[in-house]
Structure 1
Amino acid sequence: MEERAVLANIASIITKDLLIDQPSMNINAGKYPLLSFGEDDDEAEIFALMQRKRSLAAGGKRKLLQDPEDRKQDLKQARLEWHHAELNLLHRYTDNQFESYLHMRKHTFLKIQQTLEEMLSGIALPGYPTPPAQTMLSLALWKLSTDEHFEEIARKFKLPWALCQQVVRGFWHCISDNYESFIKWPNSLAAQRSTLQGYQKLEKLRCFRELFGIITLRRLDVFLESEHAEVPVVLQLIFNAERKIIDCYVELAVEYNFEDSPIGQTLALNPRTMPAGSYLIGNGVFPLKSYLVRPIDTECFRKDAVFNELLRPAFQLAEQVLDTLARRFNTLYALEARDLNEVRLIVESICAMHNLCEEFHDDGLEVTGPSGFSWGGLPEGVRGSEKDLKGLQRRVELLDEVVAIEPGE
């Protein structure tokens, strides 16, 4: 009797522990056959109760280990879930409306989206989920193609203002991080040969047999938050015969100098950056170099005037490229940025999108005649030097070569 009394007390204690540990659960004897045996099987009853308590204790430990992580994972997934409707400008606007806002064809937009989709999917936005690629591209191109501020864009598309900022700035960083995927300097022999041949297809520039690129300059007035003021910056571009930009550089106007630009330093240190004997053509703001030809300042002979006239189509082509940039990306009219670094991100994004539009032969900017379009201006007080001896010698050689060629030959 004493042994049965001890066993009964043990069973009572275990049962109480079970009830305390799991007050919301009922002990169902039907689920534990040993608990339904006769009263004489006290040891079996105690064993069953101990197994039940061990099982519940192990389950509790698993919950302690797993539940917090599961909850964190659930919360994390909830934070990363995109709650806003996907921005679909293709369905939102007719073809004409779409082209008037984004200055490109819908087909071009789709091709750009396909090109960037994988790249954009890896963008992480601090405090925000990564939006669908179409939404990110739509917001970024809208910002670049119009002169609207983030507040206007947020109201238009019913998105939080801060979210619009994060999305568009994330896009700028992504494009800049992949700069060489979009703005490609011809490094391979095949690419360099193709670049030289490209200008030979342009009738008015065919006489310049070794022309490798046209370099141009434009001053922009940018409002910098870091300076709380409008600051002039210089945009320096080099492009090929296909009007694709192959080099982009932005600097404060007061600090600009061609020799200090990345391409200026590269060409000075390594002339093989371009094929031997090849050169760029630039206007009077650039210095004369063996690899950079500029007009003759003082036309002493008729030959000089003819040479300068032959250079004119190159400068006209430069204006056309700048014209296309500004008409397609209206943000250049009212450029605002946190600092100079962000200006560079914006301009690099504009140049990258311009190159994609040219790659896909987009004609969303049909030109019916002379536009008389103007924006920005030339940097004040910037004038290139003509003192480089190798540059003078190279220009004399080029002068003899091109002026001797009859027009149309």
Structure 2
Amino acid sequence: MEVRKKKVAAAGRVIMDVIQAEWEPLSHWELDQRLDRAVEEMIGADLVALVQQQSASQQEEDTKPPDLAQKVTPLLSECALQRSQVTEAMEANPNVQYVTRFLQSSNTCYSKNRLSGRARLSLSHTVLLSLTLLSKRISYRSVSSSFHLEKGNIHRIFFSFCDQVIAQQDRLIRWPTAEEAPQHLLPFSSWLSPNEGLEKRGLPRVLGVLCDTRIPIRLPAGKPDSDGEAPEAKKLKIEPHPDSWLNLELVCNDKGRFIYCHISKGSEKDRGSALAKRLQQHPEMVPPGTCLIAGVGYPLTEQILTPFSTGRSPQENLYNRSLGTHLGRFNQVVADLKERFQKLRYLDMGNYDRAKAVVLTACLLHNVFLDMGDVTKGLVEKSTMEDVEEVNKDAAGVKMRETVMNLLYSSL
């Protein structure tokens, strides 16, 4: 080492002389300082490399089980603590207990849907995991540490839970029978006195409110986006790609319970066509003297009354205000749904069938929680009035709407 240091020092002196001849402002002292620093750095680099080589071989020889145990023991303690916290959260959550009992009382067999070779959860832990994913905007990865499951396994367990709930669709979302309907009727207008006798003259009572909301989803892979469009097309485009959301069409009753649910792709524009056809085939679904209230753009029939697209007279404005009360109630129910199940504010999945399963599961659980008396209030988002033209107006519907409008105006 000393020999190498002397050789480096000699070479440095030669370089110093050359630099001094070409660049006079540097003094002998400054050049000496720089030379010493360069030699120290070279020697230091050699020493560091030697130490690293020795420490690597020493670590291979000194690896012992006690050291591994010291590292693993705190991890096991942390895992045990997290498991206890999950169990405490499960036992303290009445919603988890209620949904667990509900699924246990159903005819579904949860154990048959488990895959061999994968981590298994009890039904109550599965419910807690799934409700956590539905109620918050979190990813599978963020809950994997709490439940000690890999991301793919959480994905499988969650959609297995959705399948279990969807299997109860006929039990949870059910149209009222003729005997049940009178218990859920609302007056057409809240400011009318029941003694005015307008119902005897043909003013219907409201069985439910039909409307829809959008559930944003991730644009499926391979779909075109606006970047590839011409500048003129970009300017005219005011909405995102229709495959980037789902249409959630619902009918809610006086208690905010869903009695009808239809989910379609954003590109499907036929509002209420499926329900209107069903009512036409089964008119007994809407008893005489009752009707459904729907938004603009839905079919106007004798059983489904819609607002005027733009009120042009006092009569039409009065009629629209009466319907607006019912439509506002629907907006509150949707706000409650999205507040309870915040995952519906944006589904980070481009698969239509899986996104539909999540939305349907949330709607079914909405009714489950109403049955147990658990109510969540959400903030209604301000929305601009849609510029939608009236479509699918039949003669009976137009006549019925005019009759109701005149009855309301005569009450003034």
TM-score by length of 2: 0.65
After TM superposition, the structure 1 = structure 2 runs for residues 236-251 of structure 1, keeping only pairs within 5 Å, are 236-251=249-264
Distance 1:140 1:379 in 2: 36
* Counterpart residue number, 1:325: 337
Residue 258 in 1 paired to residue 271 in 2? yes
Q: 1:400 aligns with which of 397, 400, 406?
A: 406
Specify the code of the residue in structure 2 equivalent to 1:91: E
- After superposition, the Cα gap between the structure-2 partners of 1:107 and 1:223, relative to the gap in structure 1 and judged at 3 Å, is same
- After superposition, the Cα gap between the structure-2 partners of 1:216 and 1:257, relative to the gap in structure 1 and judged at 3 Å, is same
* Counterpart residue number, 2:396: 390
SS in 2 for 1:307: helix
Q: Deviations over 1:230-264 (max 9, x none)?
A: 62221111100000011111111212312543x23
- After superposition, the Cα gap between the structure-2 partners of 1:87 and 1:117, relative to the gap in structure 1 and judged at 3 Å, is farther
Shift of 1:121: 4.6
Residue 190 in 1 paired to residue 202 in 2? no
Q: Is 1:296–1:304's contact at 8 Å kept on the other side of the alignment?
A: yes
Q: Is 1:277–1:291's contact at 8 Å kept on the other side of the alignment?
A: no
* Counterpart residue number, 1:212: 207
Shift of 1:152: 1.6
Residue 235 in 1 paired to residue 232 in 2? no
Distance 2:388 2:311 in 1: 20
* Counterpart residue number, 1:140: 130
Shift of 1:268: 2.7
- After superposition, the Cα gap between the structure-2 partners of 1:204 and 1:151, relative to the gap in structure 1 and judged at 3 Å, is farther
Superposed CA RMSD in Å reads: 3.2
Equivalent pairs: percent with the same residue? 17
- After superposition, the Cα gap between the structure-2 partners of 1:353 and 1:333, relative to the gap in structure 1 and judged at 3 Å, is same
Structure 1 unmatched runs, 5+: 1-84, 96-105
Distance 2:154 2:264 in 1: 27
After TM superposition, the structure 1 = structure 2 runs for residues 144-183 of structure 1, keeping only pairs within 5 Å, are 144-183=134-173
Q: 1:221 aligns with which of 216, 220, 236?
A: 216
Shift of 1:324: 0.4
Distance 1:378 1:160 in 2: 43
SS in 2 for 1:255: coil
Distance 1:142 1:302 in 2: 49
Structure 2 unmatched runs, 5+: 1-81, 225-242
Q: Is 1:125–1:166's contact at 8 Å kept on the other side of the alignment?
A: no
- After superposition, the Cα gap between the structure-2 partners of 1:382 and 1:116, relative to the gap in structure 1 and judged at 3 Å, is farther
Q: Is 1:183–1:245's contact at 8 Å kept on the other side of the alignment?
A: yes
Distance 1:380 1:300 in 2: 17
* Counterpart residue number, 1:355: 367
Specify the code of the residue in structure 2 equivalent to 1:243: G
Specify the code of the residue in structure 2 equivalent to 1:114: R
- After superposition, the Cα gap between the structure-2 partners of 1:176 and 1:384, relative to the gap in structure 1 and judged at 3 Å, is farther
- After superposition, the Cα gap between the structure-2 partners of 1:89 and 1:190, relative to the gap in structure 1 and judged at 3 Å, is farther
Q: 2:300 aligns with which of 278, 288, 296?
A: 288
Q: Is 2:90–2:124's contact at 8 Å kept on the other side of the alignment?
A: no
Shift of 1:193: 2.2
Specify the code of the residue in structure 1 equivalent to 2:320: N
Q: Is 1:286–1:383's contact at 8 Å kept on the other side of the alignment?
A: no
Distance 1:134 1:88 in 2: 14
Q: Is 1:236–1:248's contact at 8 Å kept on the other side of the alignment?
A: yes
- After superposition, the Cα gap between the structure-2 partners of 1:145 and 1:319, relative to the gap in structure 1 and judged at 3 Å, is same
Q: 2:102 aligns with which of 115, 121, 126?
A: 115
Distance 1:226 1:272 in 2: 44
SS in 2 for 1:250: strand
Q: How many residues align?
A: 303
TM-score by length of 1: 0.66
Distance 1:405 1:314 in 2: 19
Distance 1:215 1:259 in 2: 8
- After superposition, the Cα gap between the structure-2 partners of 1:325 and 1:259, relative to the gap in structure 1 and judged at 3 Å, is closer
Distance 2:325 2:272 in 1: 25
Distance 2:289 2:188 in 1: 19
More displaced stretch, 176-185 vs 265-274:
265-274
Q: Deviations over 1:310-348 (max 9, x none)?
A: 111111101101110111111012213352222221111
Specify the code of the residue in structure 2 equivalent to 1:301: S
SS in 1 for 2:369: helix
Shift of 1:204: 5.7
Shift of 1:276: 2.6
Q: Is 1:280–1:293's contact at 8 Å kept on the other side of the alignment?
A: yes
Q: Is 1:87–1:135's contact at 8 Å kept on the other side of the alignment?
A: no
Residue 125 in 1 paired to residue 120 in 2? no
